[in-house]
Amino acid sequence: MPSLAGLDPRTPVIVGVGQCAEQVNDPDYRGMSAVDLAARAAANALADAAGTGIAAAIDTIAAIRQFEISTPIGHAPLGRSTNVARSIARAIGADPARAILEVTGGQGPQHLVSELGDEIAAGRAEVVLLAGSEAISTARHLAGSEGAPDFSEDPGGTVEDRGYGLRGIVTLPQVRHGLTDATSQYALLEHARRAALGLDREAYAHTMGELFAPFTDVAAVNPLAAAPTSRTADELMTITDRNRMVADPFPRFVIARDQVNQGAAVLMMSVGAARRLGVVEDRWTFVHGRADTAERSIIDRPDLGASPAAVLAVTHALEVAGIGMGDLAHLDLYSCYPIAVSAVCDGLGLAADDPRGLTVTGGLPFFGGAGNNYSMHAIAEIVNRVRRDPGTYGLVGANGGILSKYSAGIYATTPTEWPKVDNAALQQTLDVPESAPSVPAADGWAIIETYTVQHARAGATGIVVGRLDGRRFLATTVAGDDDLVAVLTGAAEPIGARIYARSFGYGNRVTLTPERMDELLPRPATGLREDYEHVAVRRDGHILEVTLQRPQVRNALHAAAHVELDGIFDAYLADPELWVAIITGAGDDAFCAGNDLTATTTEGGGFPWFPSSGFGGLTSREGMHKPVIAAVNGAAMGGGFEIVLACQLAVADESARFALPEVKVGLFAAAGGVVRLPRAIPTKIAHDMILTGRAIPAAEALRLGLVSRVVPDGGALAAARELAAEIVAVSPTSVRLSLEVIEQTRGVADDVAAARKETDAMDQLLVSEDTLEGVMAFAEKRTPQWKNR
């Protein structure tokens, strides 16, 4: 190790740490905002460094996101700063050149120590402040009260807002299946680990209690803890009114406590700056090892009960530091849920009752889960401990997401140069194993891989990760299915049990048997019905007319309309006497204005949904072996235009307009528009329409080949009927086989290769009655009588 005198002056050191907290029942409770708490902690960090002119010397400030700005739907009931980092800086008299708002995730504090340490070591920064806080308890306590404070402020200035960083952590399939809360997601991982260990529910609950009971003892003596109460393993795991089950196997006491008012800050600077600003050397703490890793999305992880990313991050940090687990004197493993600790212990060979303890704060359920900023408190505590015990090493393991991102740091007062790490190369080793195979739509018998049961006032809902022919899928239980919920919560082991899955537009559902599925979710009747609520149908010989009957919303479609259209086109394709279909809209204003975003549904996580056949029962439908004509009698917007693109033929009124305007409301044409349009028209024009939402008139649509005929206003349906009559006049077998060959050769780029591609179309024609009838009618100079066989 180098001496202090021999250190490179650009070597980063931590010179100050600060924390603060208040509870609403404190005698001197002030109701501080999140900015106030972070600024108080930052001021404490400056005081801890005990230098001169440090605030003015800060050139970089990085703020951790509060929960209220951690997702697009976050809510700040008392208002918030428009630039948290600048607000904190202003409160302590700093005006840094660079301000950062870090991504969402508990890995943030440790990751920023590593990242901004690199900046200091490279000479791009000298004095860096990291700060974060939560005032959730105050917000809940004061919101709606008379005289509630307004925490809104706009400090101005620039900020490097890094976004939410939630890609791969929050996915649409998870939303569809009610898997949006961290507790349920961690519960899935917890049960997977339990099954791998071969423990029953009772035995495993005991291990969780034994793991966290020592954490409560640490929190009990921490003056900053939100829940400073020692509890036994039995107290932690016994279900009571106060300690209710939230998501099996987690009762409330072992879940991160978010009702806190806490702030923490870390001050870093170069050795040269520390000497210049008068920070005495006994305040210096060095980073000896570090690493940052990331895990895949839950559905893709080979082993749901393990955390290889976390284990590798800690292992590599120790290797960089040149020490082993036995050399650590102080540890803090991120502890939002038991598995966040135990999965790391599994990989490192740590015992739950390690005499060193696994937390220096008391952990997130007991000290307090100060949002994304918890590990800033852990770093502060570790720094204080290695200062009190010079020469010892401390570990901070910081977790973000659902064991999704992990940052590890090794700290000591022993001087060392800044450790170099290649996190990209480290990540490559994690990415070598193939992802678990998965399938979005599950239909048939399957087995349970892991599960949880959400317990809410409305009742219990099971969430299952299943395996169907080896492929993983997400599913939920059906409302009212107490039988499967009883299996999931019963004494017998549910993992490995046989279940039956069925897919719907809003997600997968599971029951114990197909008969139970049919009882709870009856299959819709096959064939055409006489009456529909949102659609009208008219049968004219071999022609089926389908009219969208929602003119009050410009024929925009919602889930119930999609379901009706799905059944109608199923019936159309199955009926040998129906040869051509026409789809149009009621009224003369709009063919279809797309998704009805105002419609609500309890299924699909509240998001608009449609069946597997796609928007309008057409855009994702396979086996379209019969023609569908779009009679565009007005605006075809968004999903309406996507229906047109999915139809084999289209005619339009002169006043019709076509657009994919989703980008104007923060969406994109996800029902096939972004795929089909560039394949249908010149790429640059397609990109122009997709990326701007620009609408084109019918005349331009005709020039581009998006429609085959344009007629005077009010004539689209009549023109479609004429076109349908022309198609009905020819062989339906030939039409069907022509469409099949078009589809089978669509992906072949070379024309000659496509023409030579072998299909069974000619084989089918050779044995077709229509072929014989066509040849005979031609020879006999009469009109063919087609049989469609």
Kindly report whether the peptide bond that precedes residue 249 is cis, defined as omega within 30 degrees of 0: yes
The secondary structure element, H or E, covering residue 583 is strand 580-585
In the numeric block, which tokens belong to residue 75? Answer: 């809510």
In the numeric block, which tokens belong to residue 182? Answer: 């961290």
- Nearest Cα neighbor of 177 from 418, 475, 402 is 475
Q: What is the DSSP letter of 298?
A: G
Of 115, 642, 654, 758, the active-site residue reads 642
The secondary structure element, H or E, covering residue 585 is strand 580-585
Q: Respond yes or no: is residue 642 known to be catalytic.
A: yes
Q: What is the DSSP letter of 64?
A: P
Torsion angles phi and psi, residue 88, rounded to 5: -65, -45
Alpha carbon distances (Å) from 669 to 426, 579, 677? 37, 30, 10
Return all residues near 640 (Cβ < 8 A) that are at least 6 apart: 555, 556, 585, 590, 591, 592, 593, 594
Residue whose tokens read 């260990």: 197
Full strand arrangement of the beta sheet holding 286-294: 286-294, 405-412, 393-400, 328-333
- Nearest Cα neighbor of 359 from 343, 337, 381, 344 is 381
Amino acid at 509: R
In the numeric block, which tokens belong to residue 334? Answer: 């991120």
**Residue 773 near residue 785 (C-beta atoms within 8 A):** yes
β-strands 393-400, 535-540 pairing: unpaired
Amino acid at 406: Y
Q: Respond yes or no: is residue 119 known to be catalytic.
A: no
The rounded Cα 278 to chain-centroid distance in angstroms is 47
Of 493, 662, 700, 769, the active-site residue reads 662
Q: How far apart are the first and last CA of the chain?
A: 87
The DSSP string of 232-288 is -HHHHHS--SSS-EEETTEEGGGS-----EEEEEEEEEEHHHHHHTT--GGG-BEEE
**Residue 257 near residue 251 (C-beta atoms within 8 A):** no
- Nearest Cα neighbor of 204 from 257, 256, 248 is 248
**Residue 387 near residue 360 (C-beta atoms within 8 A):** no
Q: How far apart are CA 611 and CA 414, in angstroms?
A: 62
**Residue 417 near residue 122 (C-beta atoms within 8 A):** no
Q: How far apart are CA 788 and CA 771, in angstroms?
A: 10
Q: How far apart are CA 147 and CA 142, in angstroms?
A: 9
Torsion angles phi and psi, residue 302, rounded to 5: -60, -40
Helix (H, G, I), strand (E, B) or coil at 510: strand
Q: How far apart are CA 705 and CA 681, in angstroms?
A: 7
Catalytic residue set: 642, 662
